[in-house]
Amino acid sequence: MPRPDSAVPAVRRARPDDAGAIAEWLEPTLPRPWSASEVEAEIRHPGGRGWLIEGSAGGVRAALLARRAADEMEILQLAVAIEARRAGLGSTLMERASGESGVERIHLEVREDNGAACAFYQALGFREVGRRTAYYRDGATAILLSRNAVRTR
């Protein structure tokens, strides 16, 4: 029986065969989306992690790609379908990534001029630990954020 849209969304691990769908879906949601081969390479990487949430009618609604090294995880991409934003999908994916066994610390970077993303990450407990001036192709500054991971039982 399909879950209603108000239910807690089902998160599943991304598989290499999801790469094309994820890349196609990322295109309208991010300023510089990854190609299918980049997504697949990250999923296949030994430290690569990916999770996604599908809509009730299928198709990707939200996706998170990360890379794990020892007890740390770096969030590489997090995107939520424009029409599904502010419904908790991004938070659900971040919680899933943060709760992975053995992860102690989570890191990411966000564009300084992306106020919505900055507020989102701050609300999740991320704090600024540095900046990279002119990090993005258009000269925008990246804010480096970090937080402790969620403890799981």
Q: For tokens 């999801």, what's the residue?
A: 18
Q: What span, in angstroms and rounded, lies between the C-alpha atoms of 60 and 52?
A: 7
CATH number of the domain residue 129 falls in: 3.40.630.30
Instruction: Give the closest residue to 75 by CA, choosing from 144, 19, 16, 6.
Output: 144
Instruction: Please say if the pLDDT value at position 152 is more than 70.
Output: no
Instruction: Specify if 153 maps to a domain.
Output: no
Instruction: Specify if 5 maps to a domain.
Output: no
Please give the residue range of the domain that contains residue 75: 11-148
**pLDDT tens sequence across 8-67:** 678 999 999 989 888 887 777 777 778 899 999 999 999 999 999 987 777 788 899 999
Instruction: Specify if 1 maps to a domain.
Output: no
Residue 145: enclosing H or E segment and its boundaries? strand 142-148
pLDDT of residue 133: 95
pLDDT of residue 100: 82
